[in-house]
């Protein structure tokens, strides 16, 4: 029996692009999941001693991790180091505020025909952790990977 594909086949996890400043991040190899968590609050009502009700509480959005092979493109690295330069230096970045380092990023999903089928906008991203250079090993032939962790304040489906 021959397997049939349909228009409802799931999309592949390796067909994606991430954009910021309306520019595709060069050499991006991995993007962690977009996750929202809603805290559950329990309380007892006055007339039912043996029963607890649950209500939604605070909403939080988990950090996103991006991994990129080290390239000559400086866009990724410039954003990743801009906050550290602002916090630890009173030089050129001292006139900027933390809001100047926040960016919206778009995560785009593509099907096997390379057509964009879904997109998400992630709001108010800023770099909370940056790995500029991985551990080096002369006995390995691995690609060098940079990593940034982005804090964010939510996302929405664009498409």
DSSP string, 54-94: EEEEEEEE--EEEEEE--S--HHHHHHHHHHHHHH--SGGG
Given this model, what pLDDT does residue 86 score? Answer: 67
Does 24 reside within a domain?
yes
Confidence category of residue 99, pLDDT binned at 50, 70, 90:
low
The SS3 of residue 4 is coil
Does 105 reside within a domain?
yes
Average pLDDT over residues 96-109: 82
Given this model, what pLDDT does residue 51 score? Answer: 78
Average pLDDT over residues 57-63: 96
**What is the number of other CB atoms lying within 10 angstroms of the CB of residue 70?**
15
CA atoms within 13 A on the CB side of 29: 10
Assess whether pLDDT exceeds 60 at residue 92. no
Given this model, what pLDDT does residue 159 score? Answer: 72
Task: For residues 31 and 8, give the distance between their C-alpha atoms in angstroms, rounded to a whole number.
Answer: 24
Assess whether pLDDT exceeds 80 at residue 7. no
Average pLDDT over residues 101-113: 91
Does 64 reside within a domain?
yes
Does 5 reside within a domain?
no
Q: Quick one: residue 47, left, alpha or beta (phi over 0 = left, psi -120 to 50 = alpha)?
A: alpha
Assess whether pLDDT exceeds 80 at residue 115. yes
Given this model, what pLDDT does residue 132 score? Answer: 87
List, as one string, the DSSP characters of 125-152.
EEEEEEE-SPPP-TT--PPPEEEEEEE-
Does 43 reside within a domain?
no
Q: Which domain holds residue 69?
A: 16-38+54-157
Does 46 reside within a domain?
no
Average pLDDT, the chain: 84
Q: Structure tokens of 15?
A: 């067909």
Average pLDDT over residues 20-39: 90
**What is the number of other CB atoms lying within 10 angstroms of the CB of residue 1?**
3
Average pLDDT over residues 83-100: 62
Assess whether pLDDT exceeds 90 at residue 119. yes
User: Which comes out higher in pLDDT, residue 86 or 151?
Assistant: 151
pLDDT over 90, % of the chain: 40
Q: Can you give the CATH number for the domain in which 101 is found?
A: 2.30.110.20
Does 32 reside within a domain?
yes
Report how many domains make up the chain: 1
Task: For residues 122 and 105, give the distance between their C-alpha atoms in angstroms, rounded to a whole number.
Answer: 5
Does 140 reside within a domain?
yes
User: Which comes out higher in pLDDT, residue 78 or 121?
Assistant: 121
């Amino acid at each position: 029996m021959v397997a049939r594909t349909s228009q409802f086949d799931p999309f592949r996890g390796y067909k994606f692009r991430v954009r910021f400043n309306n520019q595709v991040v060069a050499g991006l190899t991995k993007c962690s999941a977009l996750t929202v968590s809603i805290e559950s609050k329990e309380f007892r009502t006055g007339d039912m001693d043996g029963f607890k009700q649950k209500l939604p509480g605070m909403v939080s959005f988990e950090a996103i991790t991006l991994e990129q092979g080290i390239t000559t493109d400086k866009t990724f690295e410039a954003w990743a180091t801009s906050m550290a330069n602002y916090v630890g230096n009173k030089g050129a970045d001292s006139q900027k505020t933390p809001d100047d380092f926040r960016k919206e990023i778009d995560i785009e999903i593509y099907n096997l025909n390379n057509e964009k089928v879904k997109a998400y906008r992630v709001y108010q991203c800023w770099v909370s952790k940056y790995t500029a250079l991985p551990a080096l090993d002369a006995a390995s032939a691995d690609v060098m990977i940079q990593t940034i962790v982005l804090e964010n304040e939510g996302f929405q489906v664009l498409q």
